[in-house]
Structure 1
Amino acid sequence: MTPLTAPDPGGHLLPAHLAGPVPTARRRRPRRGVVLALLGALIVVGGLGGLQLTASLGYDDSRAQFAQALDTAEGRAAEIRRTTDELISITDAASQLVELDSGMLTDPQTKEQLAASVASASETTSTTGELLDEDLPDAEAKPVTFWDLFAASTALRTDAEVLERLDTELADESPALDAASSDLMESGLAFLGSAADAAAPFEAAHISAKNDDVIALRNAAASVSEVTALDEGSVSSFTALQDAAAQVVTSENAELAEKAGPLQGVRLEVEAFARSLAPGVLIEFDWSPVVNGAGYGGSMGGLTTWWWDEPDRALIELSDSVAAQWPAERSRALVAHEVGHAISVKCEGMYDASTQDSIEKWATAWAIGMGFSDDANGVSAYGYPPQSYIDAALACR
């Protein structure tokens, strides 16, 4: 036991080992493993940060490439859709023309060509429509983690390639659409032109039709000849032309039915003679037993109504006795007198049309000028016309 030393007054004793010198403290160095772990963690964090940055920038580039491809494809699709819609509209009109055609006026070859153009255009729009119906890819919201960013970037690049391919395919359709539209328009206008051109010979082949129906045919043909595009308007014009042609046939059949009987052939011969004296004037004829108070007992009657407005036209009424006595000179002279009235529509202003006497003397003078000297030319009924009338009438042909 360690002996204790007597303490100073007011103090206390301590054991010797507590009272001895204080030992010096030592610092321990960090362990190598901890340092390496920290360094590794820093490296991993730095690497992950680099991956995240790289993935984010890569995504942005892919997104920009995708956006550009999408804008281009959408613009191309809008352009091709407009062109396709226009072609579909033209095709619909052309198809209606083919379906409505009765063959009354159109040329069979032009109709066949139009039908072929319709089929070709329909095939073209069908092919283009399939491309336009493809769903365009869309980009979702930007991911957060680098692994999702890398995956999304790959998907965006793939989608961009799809859009670029679609844009190329749509661009390739443009020439086909233009060619189909041009071919269809050319075939359609040729088809309509053939119908308009056929109106005149059709009219000539149905010479006995009523004037109003012939005029309607002419107007309808003129409307069709002015068509420059295939649309609803062209279909309406063609329909009106066909209806007018059908009415001409109906009108002629009705007129011929009225003229049926023993004198029909002679009546038509008289009408043809009258028309030959006044080319360019539309003349229709009505026949009755009595006209203008004459027709029985060997007498002949005639009456003409004409219109000064366009087109030149007139209605000549003749008694059946004119046909019964045909081709006697007196019958021919009377017809010439009536044609003198009818043709005055071409010679307005060449004589005084204010009095009935002047009007009758003009027609008589015209018949005389045409070489018909029988008194049935008007002389027997209205007297001999002044030489001045004959001279003026010679200029009216």
Structure 2
Amino acid sequence: MSVPADITAPPRGGHALPAHIVGASAGGSPAARSRRRPRRGIVLGVAGAVVIAGALGAVQVTANLGYDDAASGFDDAYESTQSSFSALDGATAQLAETTEVANQLVAADAGTLTDPTAKETLNAAVAAAGETQSTAHGLLAAELPDAGEKPAFFWDLFGATEQLHAQTAHLEGLAEDADAESPAVGDADAAIDGAGMAYLGTAATAASAFEAAHLSARNDDVIALREAAGTLSLSTTLDTTSIDSFLALQDAANQVVASEQAELAEKGGPLLNARLEVEAFARSLAPGVLLEFDWNPIVNNAGFNGSMGGLTTWWWDEPDRAVIELSNSVAEQWPAERSRALVAHEVGHAISVKCEDMYDSSTQDSIEKWATAWAISMGFTDDANGVWAYGYPPQSYIDAAYGCR
């Protein structure tokens, strides 16, 4: 190896030193060596920068991944909370609708047919539902948090991630509250529906007793009452349809009262009590047959000079019904046996709607013979039972009439 000119060759085993150390004048060698030192510093600086950049990159990646994971959890919680709120909102809307129908029912009820205790139960259910609705509305008023835009740098990402975790926990709490409240809202709705249907049921059930309390009402109005009660009894839930059915029943009941008052007004006067006794007697002979009565001075060309007249119109279709017209003389002679026998004859016509196949109804003679036979089968033997007017009926008719009750 050669030795530079400015370095004294050392002895074997010694050291070569620069000339300026041994007294040579300052020259190019020290400068040359000093130019090599900055290169090493640059390398170290670059290496440090690379290390720092790598560390920062790792932190950025970690921050990104943490944020993305938190954002995914937030999105799931947000969707779940929206679903829970939607279910609660739907249940609350249904409860509000049911409550409104219940209020309409109570407001429209005139108390003609419904039971007061059932009404109190319905009002209590509505009041309790109001508290449940208030709680549900408070939950639904909560504003769901917004995740916002994703930050770009790790120093913002870490803070945003923590915020997402907090918002996610808040959303999960809201969802739990909504999920817990939905069954309570459903129970409140069911309570109103059940109380409302029980309330309506009392009206449908009361129709029969109401009819019995207004026997003088016209047949058509009683039939309308029965049909309205039947329609209402088919209702299964408290809604506008069931309310309409209730109102129809209530209107029918009012019409029954009105028609009875009109009938009683027509029958008024000194013969009123006797007429009502005659009608009650006729009804007792034909249970299940809807009877309506008209009274006139002359019926079927009879009623003057002590004579009595009767005329019956009946319908073969459902329900079993008939209209019996009687002369005033029937009431005037009541309760004479001949008066009772004539009424029994007319009821024999009316009750034939229950026994259509027991006799020949193709001729007027056979129709009258049947009514006479039926009166005889009931034990009314006075000739006013039809024998005087139409002759004695065949024994076969009398035997058959025993089976018509």
TM-score (norm 1): 0.90
* Structure 1: tracts of 5 or more residues without a match: 1-21
Partner of 2:153: 145
- Cα offsets for 1:37-58 (capped at 9, x unmatched): 5555445433432332222112
Identity %: 64
Partner of 1:18: none
Could you tell me how far 1:72 is from its partner in structure 2? 1.4
Could you tell me how far 1:105 is from its partner in structure 2? 0.7
2:242 is the alignment partner of 1:234? yes
2:261 is the alignment partner of 1:253? yes
Matches within 5 A, 1:75-114: 75-114=83-122
Matches within 5 A, 1:254-269: 254-269=262-277
Partner of 2:191: 183
Partner of 2:163: 155
Matches within 5 A, 1:53-68: 53-68=61-76
2:219 is the alignment partner of 1:203? no
- Cα offsets for 1:49-103 (capped at 9, x unmatched): 2332222112111101101111211222222223223322222222222221111
- Cα offsets for 1:372-393 (capped at 9, x unmatched): 1111111111111111111111
SS at match of 1:316: strand
Could you tell me how far 1:123 is from its partner in structure 2? 2.2
TM-score (norm 2): 0.88
SS at match of 1:349: helix
Distance 1:297 1:248 in 2: 36
Could you tell me how far 1:191 is from its partner in structure 2? 0.9
**Which one-letter code corresponds to 2:97 in the other structure?**
S
Q: 1:302 aligns with which of 310, 333, 337?
A: 310
Task: Report the number of matched residues.
Answer: 376
- Cα offsets for 1:234-268 (capped at 9, x unmatched): 11111111111111111111111111111111111
Partner of 2:7: none
Q: 1:359 aligns with which of 349, 361, 367?
A: 367
Could you tell me how far 1:35 is from its partner in structure 2? 6.4
Partner of 1:5: none
Q: 1:339 aligns with which of 341, 347, 357?
A: 347
SS at match of 2:112: coil
Distance 1:251 1:133 in 2: 55
Q: 1:391 aligns with which of 370, 382, 399?
A: 399
Distance 2:384 2:234 in 1: 47
* Structure 2: tracts of 5 or more residues without a match: 1-26
Question: In the alignment, is the contact (CA less than 8 A) between 2:348 and 2:372 conserved in 1?
Answer: yes
2:219 is the alignment partner of 1:219? no
Q: 1:26 aligns with which of 19, 25, 32?
A: 32
User: How big is the alpha-carbon RMSD for the aligned residues of Structure 1 and Structure 2?
Assistant: 1.9
Distance 2:315 2:143 in 1: 67
Distance 2:188 2:391 in 1: 71
